[in-house]
Amino acid sequence: MSLRSYRMLVAAVLVAEATLLTWNAWRFDWLRGYDASGNDLYARVVSADLRLPTVAETSVWHTPPLWFGLAGALRRMSDAAGWEPVQRPGQLLAAAAGLAVCVVAFLLARALWPERRGLHLLALVLTAASPALVRASAMYHPETLAAALAGGGLLVCVRGLRTGPTLATGAGAGALFGLAALTRAWALPVLAAAAVVMALDARGRGSWRPLLALAAVTAVLAGPWLVNEQLAHGSALAFNRPAPETSLVERRPASFYLGPRTLDVYRHPVTPAFRNELLPHLYADWWGDWALTWDTPPPPAPGQLLGQGVVTARVRQDALGLVPTLLALAGIVALGLLALARRSAALGLPPLAAIAVALAYVLFAVRYPSTDGDTIKATYLLVALPAAAVGAAFVVDAARPAGRASAIVVGVAVAAFVVAQLPFLVL
Amino acid sequence: MAPRPLTEARAARLGLLVAVVVVGAQLVVGAAWSLSHDDPTELDLTRRCFSREMALRVEGTTGDPVAAAARGGTLTTIVEGNLVTIAIVTSSGEAERLRAAYLALGGDVESRLEVRGRYVRLWRRPPSPSQRRTAAGCEY
């Protein structure tokens, strides 16, 4: 691929994604996203009263304040300008952060394999066409900002690890991870993975200053929030409900781990089917819209049934998601193996970050069971998206036969994958 | 003999193998479950949801000819102290027929009646938002 075509394709994908995310944020009713009312109250309290909300005021008091501060400031500006709804700038902020996640995935692929342009493009397109990212980018919610900031921290670390981390690497990554941790706690497993890999690298090089800078800057930014949570609520990672007192093993039934109704993702992948069965529930929510909050009318009007087209669209999404899911899993395993074989910290960080996010998420879902399944949401895993997309792109690029013909086949398949998803992705 | 070096292509193939095994195992679990269990009706699913997930006691409906006429079946349960009779319909027209039949009873039925999707619910007292949410959590 020539440099000119490459640049044009990257620009085209980014412009298309920016248009899609802006359009969706404009059309999506901010109240349809989860925690919407609680988020709005938090944003108002932070920006107007310059304080954190109390437990009694909102159910999302446990979420760090950065996004709410930004969304609250935008809300006040909208209010002053008489722009309705005042939450829309917050949705546009989420859309901008969603676009930033795409850029991060692209740059991550480029940082790892600078010469493989097809791989960069594939990572970009797989990220941009992820339904969970597209849906979260329309919501009035901090998920995409956390994913963009944590992804940025990951990118700075990987770049530094390729050539030898400097003080600027540590400080830059620490700033991004610190801000990410001030947005959503889901950034913390990515930070932990980065710290482990940076420590291993530091031991090998005998230079600990980048790691110390990472730790110091992160602590300065996120420390006050975590200390406040510890002092005010008894845990730095406090959640909006107490964990049951039973042992972790007893908190979820076997069906949570086994997912016996997995095949229903290809029959009826919407609430409440296979609720609280971890893998099918997450899969249907990532590729489709398990909770029916996307393009459906709010709960069926009296006398109306859920249209068959609504279910069919989600079944199609779940069918389309099978191959990319396989590729993402394969990519995480392949990059991990390759990193071990080559003793490459840069290659090892993305899969380790994805695994850390997955483990932290499973622990959370087991720790806080809920009858309505509200602790199982695909968007909680968005911080792992850049690593998963880069892994999937790597597998395709490494496994395909060399030559122009196979590149064209991959290009056509990816284009078909995107086009098939458009009816679902565009509101 | 020296071990083969791990090339990128080999790493990708190994990754694919692991992914296929993991996803395949999950599909096998689903297929085994599917083969050993009959497809449940909406009534079965709703009953199971209330009893297993919401820990509510579910019984058959008695003394309600309107609900008894529902093609999808009927059940009764108590949500937060409020008894509710749930009829499951198979079409919008049937939902409207049941609604009309209930409204014809007169009194305060309108404030106690909910029609959502396949579900026609008649509460003993006007339901609270929390009671509505709990009942809606078991809609299929």
**How many whole angstroms separate alpha carbon A101 and alpha carbon A149?**
8
Amino acid at B101: A
Is there a contact between A329 and B19 if contact means CB atoms under 8 Å apart?
Answer: yes
**What pLDDT, on the 0 to 100 scale, is given for residue A309?**
82
Residues of A in contact with B99 (CB under 8 A): 302-303
Is there a contact between B31 and A263 if contact means CB atoms under 8 Å apart?
Answer: yes
Residue A405, classed as helix, strand or coil, is: helix
- In A269-321, where does DSSP find H-type helix? 278-287, 308-320
**What pLDDT, on the 0 to 100 scale, is given for residue A303?**
42
Is there a contact between B27 and A332 if contact means CB atoms under 8 Å apart?
Answer: no
Residues of A in contact with B34 (CB under 8 A): 263
**How many whole angstroms separate alpha carbon A219 and alpha carbon A310?**
46
Q: A346, A112 in Cβ contact below 8 A?
A: yes
pLDDT tens figures, A398-410: 999 888 899 999 9
Largest CA distance in chain A: 70
Q: For residue A263, how far is the Cα from the chain centroid?
A: 25
- Between strands B82-88 and B113-116, the pairing is unpaired
**What pLDDT, on the 0 to 100 scale, is given for residue A335?**
97
**What pLDDT, on the 0 to 100 scale, is given for residue A211?**
96
Q: How far does the CA of residue A259 sit from the closest CA of chain B (Å)?
A: 7
Q: What one-character-per-residue DSSP string does B21-65 give?
A: HHHHHHHHHHHHHHHHSPPPPHHHHHHHIIIIIS---EE---S-H
**How many whole angstroms separate alpha carbon A357 and alpha carbon A96?**
23
pLDDT tens figures, A151-171: 999 999 999 999 999 999 999
Edge-to-edge order in the sheet of strand B82-88: B58-59, B74-79, B82-88, B119-123, B113-116
Compute CA distances B97 → A306, B43, B47, B89, B94, whole Å: 18, 19, 23, 10, 5
Residue A208, classed as helix, strand or coil, is: coil
Is there a contact between A334 and B12 if contact means CB atoms under 8 Å apart?
Answer: yes
**How many whole angstroms separate alpha carbon A14 and alpha carbon B6?**
35
- Between strands B82-88 and B119-123, the pairing is antiparallel
Q: Which residue of B has its CA nearest to A399?
A: B9
Task: Establish, for the pair of chains A and B, how many residue pairs have beta carbons separated by less than 8 Å.
Answer: 120
**What pLDDT, on the 0 to 100 scale, is given for residue B3?**
64
Is there a contact between A398 and B12 if contact means CB atoms under 8 Å apart?
Answer: yes
**pLDDT over 90, % of chain B:** 53
Is there a contact between B5 and A395 if contact means CB atoms under 8 Å apart?
Answer: no
Cross-chain CB nearest to A330 (options B5, B15, B92) = B15
To test the contact with chain B by mutation, choose from A395, A396, A400, A410 the residue with the greatest count of B C-beta atoms within 10 A, namely A395
Q: Which residue of B has its CA nearest to A396?
A: B12
Residues of A in contact with B33 (CB under 8 A): 260-263
**What pLDDT, on the 0 to 100 scale, is given for residue A372?**
77
Per-residue pLDDT in tens (0 to 9) along chain B, 140 residues: 566 788 999 999 999 999 999 999 999 999 999 888 877 788 988 998 898 888 889 999 988 999 999 999 999 999 999 999 999 998 888 888 999 999 998 888 889 999 888 899 999 999 999 899 889 888 87
Residues 6+ apart with CB under 8 A from A274: A259, A261, A262, A264, A265, A280, A281, A284
Q: Which residues of chain A have pLDDT under 70?
A: 297-308
**What pLDDT, on the 0 to 100 scale, is given for residue A306?**
66
Q: How far does the CA of residue B63 sit from the closest CA of chain A (Å)?
A: 24
To test the contact with chain B by mutation, choose from A113, A318, A337 the residue with the greatest count of B C-beta atoms within 10 A, namely A337
- Model ipTM? 0.89
DSSP letter (8 states) at residue A298: S
Q: Which of A359, A362, A408, A357 is nearest to A386 (CA)?
A: A357
Question: At which residue do the structure tokens 């809300």 appear?
Answer: A75
Q: What one-character-per-residue DSSP string does A33-60 give?
A: STTHHHHHHHHHIIIII-SPPPTTT-TT
The residue length of chain B stands at 140
Is there a contact between A280 and B138 if contact means CB atoms under 8 Å apart?
Answer: no
Alpha-carbon Rg of chain B, whole angstroms?
A: 24
State the pTM of this model.
0.87
